[in-house]
Amino acid sequence: MKIMKDVTEAIGNTPMVNLSRITKAFGVEGNIFAKLEYLNPGFSKKDRVALQMITEAENAGLLSPGQTVVELTSGNTGTGLAIVCACKGYKFIACMSKGNSVERARMMKALGAEVVLVDQMPDSVPGQVSGEDLALVEERTKQLVKELNAFRADQFHLESCNHAHEYNTGEEIWEQTDGNVDVFVDFLGSGSTFSGCSKALKKHNPAIRCYIAEPATAAIYAGKEITDLGHKIQGGGYCMDLPLVDKNIIDGYVQITDDEARGTARRLAECEGIFTGFSSGANVCAALKLLATSEKGKNIVVTINDSGLKYLSTDLFEDM
């Protein structure tokens, strides 16, 4: 491998593994192929989005040298943006809810970002960021963009976020599996991974079925009754409309509880040596549920979104 000009060239082309041990442990028929996105430089799939947003903005003349970049984040997109901005010479300001794990804020600061922490709603619980909490972060983000005449790296609206996964992640999945994909399932955060990968895979084979995973208590896309916005699956399940999600490519829905996401993340560490977070646990749990029911015997692809190191202050690996 050649010497890279900077660490942004290490983003993408992550390995894929067959989770044969966990499928055996759960007694299901079929395969779960997991794309190890936590092996990106910022330990998450959001490095891809960060690089694509900044690159496309530069190419379109929307981001000028010396301009500040601002974005709201649960931590992963902010980490990716901190890395990309450090390499490209932009100041980056991350706005994040105090409900997210402290490791994320510390990592962004270490990478040179300024981190603005926003209080949660009075009835919110630390570690459980709701759509209402995110709305407060959005308000503060907009204020900073206006005050600083900054570029908004808007992960919930910029089409470049979908492009990151449509042009790259999805194509890598197709190549790494030799096209042997029946199902793709993804826990919804901003929605770009689901939409981008689904579009890429369906271009190759329209018969591939694409499912979204949501918190059991806040499954808005599945049309379920919302019983609790304060779930623990950080980085998604905000119970809000996501502009980047193309509803026409959704083939089904899977609901995941906090305990299921946590338990599956723990089993991934124990069975597969994969140390990851809540949303990755939700992804694999959703795949296991599908293999046990409607997709028995099929090949299901998921992403392993980020590193478990970002959750050491939470209860994810507590008392193990």
One-character DSSP codes across the chain: -PPPSSGGGGSS---EEE-HHHHHHHT--SEEEEEEGGGSTTSBTHHHHHHHHHHHHHHTT-S-TT--EEEE-SSHHHHHHHHHHHHHT--EEEEEETTS-HHHHHHHHHTT-EEEEEPPPTT-BTTB--HHHHHHHHHHHHHHHHHHT-EE--TTT-HHHHHIIIIIIHHHHHHHTTT---EEEEE-SSSHHHHHHHHHHHHH-TT-EEEEEEETT--TTTT-----S--S-TT----S--TT--GGG--EEEEE-HHHHHHHHHHIIIII---B-HHHHHHHHHHHHHHHTTTTT-EEEEEE-BBGGGGTTSSTTTT-
- What are the structure tokens assigned to 24, written together? 């055996």
Find, among 4, 2, 38, 28, the residue nearest to 276 by Cα. 38
Active site residue 279: yes
Catalytic residue among 46, 199, 289, 310: 46
Active site residue 313: no
Catalytic residue among 97, 130, 198, 279: 279
- What are the structure tokens assigned to 272, written together? 């597969």
Sheet containing 92-97, strands listed edge to edge, beginning at the edge strand earlier in sequence: 114-118, 92-97, 69-72, 151-152
- What are the structure tokens assigned to 134, written together? 């995110």
List the catalytic residues: 46, 279
